[in-house]
Amino acid sequence: MILLPPGLITDSLTCATINTISDLCAQRLAPLSVPLSVPLSMEQTMNTTLTTSSLSTMLSSSSLPLPDIQRTFTYLTFGLFDGCVSHYWFSQLDATVGYDMTSPVQIAEKVLLDATVYTPIWCAWFLLFMEGTKAVLKRREDEGENKGTFGETWLELYKGNLGFFLPLTSLIYSFVDVEGRVLAFGLASLLYTTVLSLWNAERGGDEGDVGDVLCLVPDDDSVSAGENKEECSPIGVPTRSTAMFNPGVRRIGVRAKWGVRKLSKFDLDEFLDTPFFEPDKVSDKSPMKWFADLLVDDYEKAEIIYVGAIFAVLIGVGQAWLREEYHNHINLM
């Protein structure tokens, strides 16, 4: 029997749960965000240019858009690994530097090591994980985004982490013990995501900006993504657990997509061009075929099924969490 370190499962599930909630909040609070694959009936009614008014009209008949299943699953999966890595990092950091949360020297050392050792590595593996997952799930982001080198993307993500988390890191290392740090960072990320999503939704509604999550730019040079770049402006900096939850900063992952194309010899561009939910591209015997048809024929029912599945996952996570806490409590008695 494998004995896991105390709190490892809790931190992993904590991070995964917060990632899931953060992503769902970001999608729901950003009315200009749309699914990667729009139902065919909607595609047929789109004009050449997707404006705020046309998008509002398109969504009015189907309430809110269906959450992006692949995106949520990606962040949930990343959270499971991120929670484990963070658990070991915080544990080893305290074991190396010390456990005194009242020592200014120890706090300064932890903040410095977090900013110069952990955060740079985290940014790199975050980008690699996201891009690798997209390749496996046969996804692609909007081609209208500008693509930079991995170094440029990493640097932007790293600066965003420092800008938002450096002040919070000092407070967390000063007042939160090692067992609660994953939760503390996760809640900070959740708050950040919610506030930015609300702000972006209000700003986009007032100014009529096209959503940054998926700027549906037609094949028309007059509305190229380059010209829309100013309208799809960034709204803040990415954070450790929610670097691409918010529409305004998801362009980071898009620009890192250059590395995915080098993973295979076949035409990955053409492979990724196939929408995940396009009914005629899915096997007739696949469960995804049934859901793809449902997505087109009964949009609201598909949304209910998806949200129900998410709640089922969260309930399972909560039960596992409570079981581990119960066993830890019994062991301490």
How much is the average pLDDT of 125-151? 63
d(CA 38, CA 275): 9
Phi and psi, residue 212, nearest 5°: -80, -25
Quote the pLDDT of residue 193. Answer: 73
List, for residues 200-249, the tens digit of each pLDDT value: 555 554 433 333 333 334 444 444 444 444 334 333 334 454 444 433 33
Most confident of the following: 29-43, 78-92, 153-167: 78-92
Q: Note the pTM of the prediction, 2 decimals.
A: 0.54
Quote the pLDDT of residue 323. Answer: 65
Look over the chain and give the mean of its residue pLDDT values, rounded to a whole number.
64
pLDDT range class, residue 145, cuts 50, 70, 90: very low
Least confident span in 99-113, 195-209, 288-302: 195-209
57 SS3 class: helix
Quote the pLDDT of residue 109. Answer: 92
Quote the pLDDT of residue 207. Answer: 39
Quote the pLDDT of residue 273. Answer: 47
- Between residues 279 and 17, which one has the greater pLDDT? 17
- Between residues 276 and 250, which one has the greater pLDDT? 276
Tally the C-alpha atoms within 13 A of residue 66's C-alpha that lie toward its C-beta. Answer: 26
The DSSP 8-state label assigned to residue 37 in this structure reads S
Tally the C-alpha atoms within 13 A of residue 218's C-alpha that lie toward its C-beta. Answer: 11
- pLDDT of 68 strictly over 70: yes
pLDDT range class, residue 302, cuts 50, 70, 90: low
* Position 50, amino acid: L
- pLDDT of 329 strictly over 60: yes
> What DSSP letter does each residue of 165-227 carry, written as one string?
HHHHHHHHHHH--GGGHHHHHHHHHHHHHHHHHHHHHHHHHHHTPPPSS-----S-GGG-TTT
- pLDDT of 94 strictly over 90: yes
The number of residues in the chain equals 333
pLDDT range class, residue 165, cuts 50, 70, 90: confident
Whether the Cβ atoms of residue 256 and residue 131 lie closer than 8 Å to each other: yes
Integer CA distances (angstroms), 92 to 4, 9, 112, 114, in order:
15, 17, 15, 12
As a whole-number percent, the residues of the chain with pLDDT over 90 amount to: 10
Least confident span in 92-96, 270-274, 327-331: 270-274
Quote the pLDDT of residue 192. Answer: 74
Whether the Cβ atoms of residue 147 and residue 258 lie closer than 8 Å to each other: yes
CA-based diameter of the chain, in Å?
A: 70
Tally the C-alpha atoms within 13 A of residue 208's C-alpha that lie toward its C-beta. Answer: 5
Q: For the stretch 108-126, what's the b/e string if a residue is b when 16 or more beta carbons lie within 10 angstroms of its beta carbon?
A: ebbbeebbeebbeebbeeb
- pLDDT of 171 strictly over 80: yes
- pLDDT of 180 strictly over 60: yes
Quote the pLDDT of residue 161. Answer: 78
